Amino acid sequence: MFYKTQLKDHIRIPPHFFGLKLEDAMIERIKKKYGGYISKELGIVIDVSRLDKIGEGIIIPGDGASYYETEFEVIIFKPEMQEVVLGRIKDIADFGAFINIGPIDGMIHISQTMNDFVSFNKEKTLAGKESKKILKIGDKCRARIIATSYKDLSNPKLGLTMRQTGLGKLEWIEEQFGPKENKKTEKKVKKKRN
Distant-in-sequence, close-in-space partners of 39: CB < 8 Å, separation ≥ 6? 150, 153
Query: Residue 148 is part of a domain; what is its CATH number?
Result: 2.40.50.140
Residues 112, 187, single domain; the answer is: yes
Edge-to-edge strands of the sheet including 125-128? 118-121, 125-128, 134-136
pLDDT of res. 178: 80
Question: Whole-angstrom Cα distance, residue 183 to residue 171?
Answer: 11
My answer on whether 72 and 9 are in the same domain is: yes
Rounded to the nearest integer, the mean pLDDT of the chain is: 90
Q: Which of 55, 77, 99 is the last residue of a domain?
A: 77
Q: Which range of residues forms the domain containing residue 16?
A: 2-77
User: What number is the average pLDDT over the span 130-134?
Assistant: 92
Q: Over 60: is that where the pLDDT of 150 sits?
A: yes
38 & 93 share domain: no
Residue 183, SS3?
A: helix
Burial class of residue 49 in the structure, from the number of CB atoms within 10 Å of its CB (0-12 exposed, 13-18 middle, 19+ buried): exposed
Kindly tell me if the per-residue pLDDT of 193 is higher than 60.
no
Write the pLDDT tens digit of every residue in 60-80: 888 889 999 999 999 999 999
pLDDT for residue 158: 94
Q: Are residues 21 and 41 located together in one domain of the fold?
A: yes
CATH number of residue 14's parent domain: 3.30.1490.120
**What is the distance between the alpha carbons of residues 62 and 84, in angstroms, rounded to a whole number?**
51
Side-chain half-sphere CA neighbours of 74 within 13 A: 24
Look at residue 122 and tell me whether its pLDDT is greater than 90: no
- The last residue of one of the domains, among 77, 107, 136, is 77
Query: For residue range 49-62, what is the model confidence (pLDDT) as tens digits?
Result: 999 999 999 988 88
- Residue from 23, 107, 116 nearest 72 by CA: 23
pLDDT for res 183: 57
28 and 18 in contact (C-beta within 8 Å)? no
| Overall domain count for the chain | 2
Same domain for 102 and 181: yes
Asked if pLDDT for residue 19 goes beyond 80, the answer is: yes
Residue 176 confidence (pLDDT): 83
The 10s digit of each residue's pLDDT in 87-107 is 999 999 999 999 999 889 999
How confident is the model over 154-191, as pLDDT tens digits?
888 999 999 999 999 999 999 888 876 555 555 555 55
Percent of the chain at pLDDT > 90 equals 73
How far, in Å, CA of 71 to CA of 116, rounded? 51
Point out the domain boundary residue: 17, 51, 77: 77
